[in-house]
């Protein structure tokens, strides 16, 4: 066994990424305060060929060296947009046929692993503030709420870890 060299990984060039078929999934960051988490979102969007990344509210936008530190250049080719107010965005995505999925622990959350109704649907996945989560009015506008089953003492994961788990699972189902 040996580790592969970068040229052996068969990665897309930024130009090939731009024209490749994307996963029918968008990520929406609702007031994510850490630029390292924003950078991680760009890396995740790149890794799973996500259609678009929406940055909302206080979420920082590129160019910024703290975002770049984690994104490692993905912010240069992943399609993204900023909007101050998330609610009009959520409403617009619904009219465009996206199923709006909140990642939050609520009284009606379904397990990520048993939410089979999301397979092969266009989804917009909302991730919230690291401490406060998704705003109540945004939750009310979502179609489904999912949570990642956890068994330990702590009942939360870092938002970038949650993004990776959720996007991996949803893209696995979509393919």
Provide DSSP, 113-164: TT-GGGTTS-EEEEE-BTTTBS-HHHHHH-SEEEE----SS-----HHHHHH
Under DSSP, is residue 59 helix (H, G, I), strand (E, B) or coil?
A: coil
pLDDT, position 149: 93
**What does each of the 175 residues of the chain score in pLDDT, given as a tens digit?**
999 998 899 899 999 999 999 999 999 999 999 999 999 999 999 999 999 999 999 999 999 999 999 999 999 999 999 999 999 999 999 999 999 999 999 999 999 998 877 777 899 999 999 999 999 999 999 999 999 999 999 888 999 999 999 999 999 887 7
pLDDT, position 102: 97
pLDDT, position 121: 84
List the alpha helices (DSSP H) in 61-120: 65-71, 86-95
pLDDT, position 6: 85
Each residue's pLDDT tens digit, 72-115: 999 999 999 999 999 999 999 999 999 999 999 999 999 999 88
Mean pLDDT of the residues in the chain: 94
42 near 48, Cβ under 8 Å?
no
The domain 14-174: what is its CATH number?
Answer: 3.40.1280.10
Q: How far apart are CA 129 and CA 112, in angstroms?
A: 19
């Amino acid at each position: 066994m040996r580790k592969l060299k970068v040229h052996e990984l068969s990665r897309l060039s930024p130009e090939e990424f731009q024209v490749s078929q994307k996963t029918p999934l968008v990520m929406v960051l609702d007031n994510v305060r850490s630029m390292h988490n924003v950078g991680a979102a760009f890396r995740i969007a790149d890794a799973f060929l996500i259609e678009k990344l929406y940055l909302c509210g206080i979420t920082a936008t590129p160019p910024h060296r703290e975002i770049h530190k984690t994104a490692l250049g993905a912010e240069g080719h992943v399609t993204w947009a900023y909007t101050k107010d998330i609610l009009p965005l959520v409403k617009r995505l619904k009219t465009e046929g996206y199923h709006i999925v909140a990642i939050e622990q609520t009284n009606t959350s379904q397990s990520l692993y048993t939410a089979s109704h999301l397979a092969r649907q266009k989804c917009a996945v909302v991730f919230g503030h690291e401490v406060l989560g998704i705003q109540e009015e945004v939750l009310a506008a979502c179609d489904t709420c999912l949570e990642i089953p956890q068994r330990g003492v702590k009942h939360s994961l870092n938002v970038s870890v949650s993004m990776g788990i959720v996007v991996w699972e949803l893209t696995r189902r979509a393919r």
